[in-house]
């Protein structure tokens, strides 16, 4: 039988083309990338809603804290002590044991003479300053340092805009907007809390906050029209990752450390445009100045700044000291009054929690020893009642002495402020005053409905 050639042939599998394999792998990789992208986008869109559903945010109470502002008497006491008053420690040291006193008495005459001949430190400093020649470079370095502080402060600043719609005489809708600078004072839960001017916020107007050129929806927490301030909030999750990262909360400083002649920095919108900045010198400061329902530190500085557009005042460390206010009374041309932030922390804290601060509406001062010797009873002497305020409408008059609210005795301003902070707008309270009738004082009780600032 003849041998068949085809039986000797080897049968092999089909040889795959490398081009087909490459296409197959490319399709797999592209599919994986598309699937990953779609999954990431879906997660990014659903994550906030899922987080709110399964882990709802609890509203946190806002608490603002800083060092207490020293009273004028405290400042004078410290000044007297530094100028030569003897402290308790110094007194204890001077009454040490006999051996210490004996050793001090044995100080050599030569050493005593050397101490007496030493030039006072104040004179040495004055001589050194007189001898120092300031150069252009010194001024440039100072300007560079202030510019750096202003630049850092801009990370806490935003622009707040209020827009409302009205109808003109032809029945056409007209939109109008007002802007002011704002400063970030706190983060709580999902909220960013911004302090701004209440003068631009009209009832029913929509509010937005611009950060880095991007506008975000905001809402009003509460406003204090008596002091010209308001707090608005922004939901943190609505901000871009970049804006959330770069925006920082401002540090609240202690204005009690400032002295006349100190350099101040004004940021926000001092010239009416945002952002802008300028500098000025603190010209005067007086503690315990009578103010509506309390007392404040009265500060003035030679700042050329616009109050209603939002101008915030910083010290040279970049800490918030206060803001330029048109609600504190008139001043001479070229100078501005500064509302010290530590005087208004209670109000700002209430506003941040969405509540109005209680308002009675009078100016008062504590009855001091001299007034007491003149026959005035202990309490708060009413100097003036704001027109149409709750106190005014109830019948309280200038010259009355406030002695009690409900069942709490009032003898000084801190006691009054403590009681006031526990009240709510709309509460009806009993206010007891002493009113002069001839040479005697008699007790009068009023029903007062607490208002909102």
DSSP state of 247: -
Best CA proximity match to 198, nearest among 276, 310, 296: 310
Q: Give the strand pairing for 401-405 and 408-409.
A: antiparallel
What's the rounded Cα separation, in Å, for the pair 331 and 406?
Answer: 38
Q: Is 201 helix (H, G, I), strand (E, B) or coil?
A: coil
Helix (H) / strand (E) element for 223: namely: strand 214-224
Query: CATH number of the domain at 157-166+174-246, out of 2.40.30.260, 2.40.10.10, 2.60.40.1510, 2.30.36.70?
Result: 2.40.10.10
What's the rounded Cα separation, in Å, for the pair 431 and 77?
Answer: 34
What's the rounded Cα separation, in Å, for the pair 432 and 422?
Answer: 17
Instruction: Note down pLDDT in tens along the chain; length 453 residues.
Output: 455 554 455 555 555 566 677 777 777 777 777 777 767 666 666 666 666 665 555 556 666 665 544 444 444 444 444 444 444 334 444 444 444 444 444 444 444 444 445 778 777 777 777 787 778 888 888 889 989 999 999 999 999 999 876 666 666 666 678 899 999 999 988 899 999 999 988 877 899 999 988 999 999 999 999 899 999 999 999 999 999 899 999 999 988 889 999 999 999 999 999 999 999 999 999 888 889 999 999 999 999 888 889 999 999 999 999 999 998 888 888 899 999 999 999 999 999 999 999 999 999 999 999 999 999 999 999 999 999 999 999 999 999 999 999 999 999 999 999 999 999 999 999 999 999 988 899 999 999 999 998
Q: What is the pLDDT of residue 352?
A: 94
Q: What is the pLDDT of residue 50?
A: 61
Query: What's CA 72's distance to the chain center, in Å?
Result: 22
Q: Which segments of the chain belong to CATH 2.30.42.10? A: 358-452
**Sole residue written with tokens 């006072």:** 120
Q: What is the pLDDT of residue 280?
A: 94
Burial class (CB in 10 A: 0-12, 13-18, 19+), 395: middle
What's the rounded Cα separation, in Å, for the pair 401 and 380?
Answer: 5
**Sole residue written with tokens 């827009």:** 163
β-bridge partners, 230? 196, 223
What's the rounded Cα separation, in Å, for the pair 237 and 241?
Answer: 9
Q: What is the CATH number of domain 358-452?
A: 2.30.42.10
User: Could you give the C-alpha distances from 180 to 27, 140, 215, in angstroms and in order?
Assistant: 55, 31, 14
Distance in Å from the first CA to the final CA of the chain: 121
**Sole residue written with tokens 């007062």:** 448
Q: What is the pLDDT of residue 213?
A: 87
What's the rounded Cα separation, in Å, for the pair 258 and 237?
Answer: 38
**Sole residue written with tokens 């402020």:** 417
Q: State pTM to two decimals.
A: 0.71
Over the stretch 240-286, which tens digit does the pLDDT of each residue have? 999 989 999 999 998 888 999 999 999 999 999 999 999 999 999 98
Q: What is the pLDDT of residue 69?
A: 45
Helix (H) / strand (E) element for 23: namely: helix 18-54
Q: In the Cβ-directed half-sphere of 63, how many Cα atoms lie within 13 Å?
A: 3
Q: What is the pLDDT of residue 73?
A: 45
Q: Which segments of the chain belong to CATH 2.40.10.10? A: 157-166+174-246
Cis-peptide into 275, omega within 30 deg: yes
Ranges of H-type helices in 107-259: 109-117, 121-131, 136-153, 241-246
Contact criterion met (CB below 8 Å) for 329 and 192: no
Q: What is the pLDDT of residue 171?
A: 67
Contact criterion met (CB below 8 Å) for 405 and 416: yes
B/e letters for 147-182, b = 16+ CB within 10 Å, e = fewer, are eebbeebeebbbbbbbeeeeeeeeeeeeeeebbbbb
């Amino acid at each position: 039988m003849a041998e068949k050639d085809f039986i000797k042939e080897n049968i092999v599998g089909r040889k795959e083309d490398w081009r087909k394999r490459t296409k197959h792998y490319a399709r797999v990789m592209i599919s994986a990338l598309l699937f990953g992208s779609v999954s990431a986008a879906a997660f990014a869109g659903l994550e906030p809603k899922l987080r709110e559903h399964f882990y709802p945010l609890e509203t946190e109470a806002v608490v603002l804290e800083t060092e207490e502002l020293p009273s004028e008497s405290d400042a004078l006491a410290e000044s007297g002590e530094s100028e030569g008053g003897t402290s308790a420690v110094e007194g204890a040291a001077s009454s040490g044991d006999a051996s210490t006193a004996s050793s001090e008495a044995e100080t050599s005459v030569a050493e005593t003479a050397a101490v007496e001949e030493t030039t006072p430190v104040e004179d040495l400093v004055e001589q050194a300053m007189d001898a120092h020649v300031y150069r252009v470079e010194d001024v440039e370095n100072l300007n560079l340092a202030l510019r750096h502080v202003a630049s850092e402060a801009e990370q806490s600043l935003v622009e707040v805009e209020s827009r409302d719609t009205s109808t003109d005489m032809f029945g056409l809708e007209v939109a109008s907007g007002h802007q002011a600078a704002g400063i970030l004072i706190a983060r709580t839960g999902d909220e960013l809390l911004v302090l701004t001017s209440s003068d631009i916020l009209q009832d029913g107007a929509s509010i937005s906050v611009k950060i880095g050129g991007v506008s975000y929806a905001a809402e009003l927490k509460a406003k204090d029209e008596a002091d010209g301030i308001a707090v608005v909030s922004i939901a943190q999750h609505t901000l871009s990752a970049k804006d959330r990262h770069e925006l920082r909360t401002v540090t609240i400083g202690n204005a009690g450390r400032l002295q006349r002649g100190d350099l101040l920095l004004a940021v926000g919108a001092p010239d009416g445009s945002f952002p802008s900045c300028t500098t000025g010198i603190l010209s005067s400061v007086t503690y315990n100045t009578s103010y509506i329902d309390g007392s404040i530190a009265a500060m003035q500085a030679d700042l050329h700044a616009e109050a209603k557009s939002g101008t915030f005042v910083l010290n040279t460390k970049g800490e918030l000291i206060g803001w330029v206010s048109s609600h504190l009374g008139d001043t001479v041309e070229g100078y501005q009054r500064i509302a010290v932030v530590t005087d208004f922390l209670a109000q700002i804290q209430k506003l941040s929690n969405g509540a109005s601060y209680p308002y009675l509406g009078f100016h008062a001062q504590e009855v001091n020893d001299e007034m007491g010797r003149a026959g005035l009873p202990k309490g708060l002497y009413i100097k003036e009642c704001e027109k149409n305020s709750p106190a005014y409408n109830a019948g309280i008059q200038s010259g009355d002495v406030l002695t009690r609210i409900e069942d709490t005795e009032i003898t000084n301003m801190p006691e009054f402020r403590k009681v006031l902070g526990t009240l709510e707008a709309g509460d009806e309270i009993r206010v007891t005053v002493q009113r002069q009738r001839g040479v005697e004082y008699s007790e009068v009780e009023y029903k007062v409905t607490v208002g909102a600032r």
